[in-house]
Amino acid sequence: MAGDAALSRRGIAKWLAHLALLPASALMLIPFYWLLKTSLTGENLFVYPPRVWPDDPNLFHFVDVWYAVPFIRYLWNSVLVSALAVVSNVVLNAMAGYALAQGFRGQRGIVLLLLSSMMIPFQVTVVPAYLITRELGLLNSHLGMALPLSSTIVCIFLFKASFSAIPRSLTEAARIDGMSEWRIIREIHLPLSKAAVATNVVLAFVWSWNSFLWPLLVARDQQMQTLPLGLAAFLSVVEDTSGALYAFCVMVLMPGLLVFLMAQRHFIAGLTAGATKG
């Protein structure tokens, strides 16, 4: 009887929490809703009084964008750069995270170095990064655009936290069985750290997808531009605040949103694990 009452109280508390979270979620989603509504109606963003519901929604502004810019080319550049960034992120961060999780002489110094590097904004290192990319002959290339995002310190620590949670006995048993370190990472640690991998994939994808400054410096011609660069160029040509511009914004946002929604369960689990372990 007492158990039932406790369950009921817990249920009511859960409902109340959701009731409070609902308007908060709605508030967060308003800008996205407004963006979508403007892209579907073409009405001026600053029209007064503002209309909440879309009036005669249609997809024609998306069609305008499709034919006004080389969208497929921009999309391909963005996808390729993001794919390179994601793959190299998972591989390099997993390797670094594994090394840090296993422990080695001078590890503390390396960790401090990595942590202090996180304090330096990218804008400070952009000139040396540009010079290095030029020396490597990677200017105006997809690899050159993905290079600065090929490993991120936050995600190294994410992997370190996840790998540290795996019992050492498992790793040692694998070593006794004659597995190489590469195989231990690939066949034991990575399959047991799906949340960390998903988090890294989502973060690397979103960071590289939204990256603006670096592709702006590296891409030399229109054929190498990514979606954010195309959007900026489109804004300078269209010079208005309605319709096609917002349709373009939605088209740029959609892939990232899709990736996030498809991996959100693992993403949230990974972030939570990173926050509580290591």
Residue numbers of the site for other proteins (CB under 8 A)?
Answer: 58-60, 63-64, 67-68, 237-238, 244, 258, 262-263
Residue closer to other proteins by CB (options 13, 257) is: 257
Residue closer to other proteins by CB (options 145, 251) is: 251
Q: CA 129, CA 139: separation in Å to the nearest integer?
A: 11
Q: Tell the smallest beta-carbon distance from residue 213 to other proteins (Å).
A: 28
DSSP assignment of 117-171, as one string? HTTS-HHHHHHHHHHHHHHTT-TTSHHHHHGGGS--HHHHHHHHHHHHTS-HHHH
Q: Tell the smallest beta-carbon distance from residue 75 to other proteins (Å).
A: 13
For the chain, counts of helices (H) and of strands (E): 13, 0
Q: Tell the smallest beta-carbon distance from residue 36 to other proteins (Å).
A: 18
Q: Which residue has tokens 């391909």? A: 76
Q: CA 186, CA 196: separation in Å to the nearest integer?
A: 14
Per the structure block, which two tokens stand in for 128?
A: 């040396």
Q: CA 229, CA 45: separation in Å to the nearest integer?
A: 22
Residue closer to other proteins by CB (options 68, 213) is: 68
Cα 57–Cα 63–Cα 64 angle in degrees, nearest 5: 105
Q: Tell the smallest beta-carbon distance from residue 187 to other proteins (Å).
A: 16
Q: Tell the smallest beta-carbon distance from residue 67 to other proteins (Å).
A: 6
Cα–Cα distances (Å) from 251 to 36, 39, 74, in that order, read 10, 10, 11
Residue closer to other proteins by CB (options 101, 251) is: 251
First to last CA, the chain: 42
Residue closer to other proteins by CB (options 64, 181) is: 64
Residue closer to other proteins by CB (options 98, 234) is: 234
Q: CA 205, CA 255: separation in Å to the nearest integer?
A: 10
Residue closer to other proteins by CB (options 209, 234) is: 234
Q: Tell the smallest beta-carbon distance from residue 261 to other proteins (Å).
A: 8
Residue closer to other proteins by CB (options 220, 265) is: 265
On the 0-12 / 13-18 / 19+ scale of CB atoms within 10 A, 275 is: exposed
Q: Tell the smallest beta-carbon distance from residue 56 to other proteins (Å).
A: 12
Q: Tell the smallest beta-carbon distance from residue 42 to other proteins (Å).
A: 10
On the 0-12 / 13-18 / 19+ scale of CB atoms within 10 A, 111 is: middle
